[in-house]
Amino acid sequence: MIVCSCNVLSDTQVRETCSAQSGPRTTIEVYRCLGCSPQCGRCARTIRAIMDEALGRACGACSVDCPATKLPPAE
């Protein structure tokens, strides 16, 4: 599904970018990693939500006692 109509970015592209080992940690970095930049900004919340979901799945995979696992889920 296209989540950014200005740059024609799909949710799959955003998810794959976020799951890269040294992937983006901000929405601006997502655009950069995908070779574009924000235009109207309407997609920023959706991209952030996809990022949070993708990064949340990876959370807890560390072998150390990570304080982030004790945080309440993002709304």
Which residue from 25, 28, 42, 56 is in contact with ligand FES, where contact means CB under 6 A?
A: 42
33 touches ligand FES by CB under 6 A: no
- Phi, psi torsion values for 39, nearest 5 degrees: -110, -80
Shortest distance, position 56 Cβ to ligand FES, whole Å: 22
40 touches ligand FES by CB under 6 A: yes
Dihedral sign, Cα of residue 32, residue 38, residue 41, residue 43: negative
C-alpha 19/C-alpha 44 separation (Å) is 18
Q: Which residues bind ligand FES (CB under 6 A)?
A: 4-7, 38-43
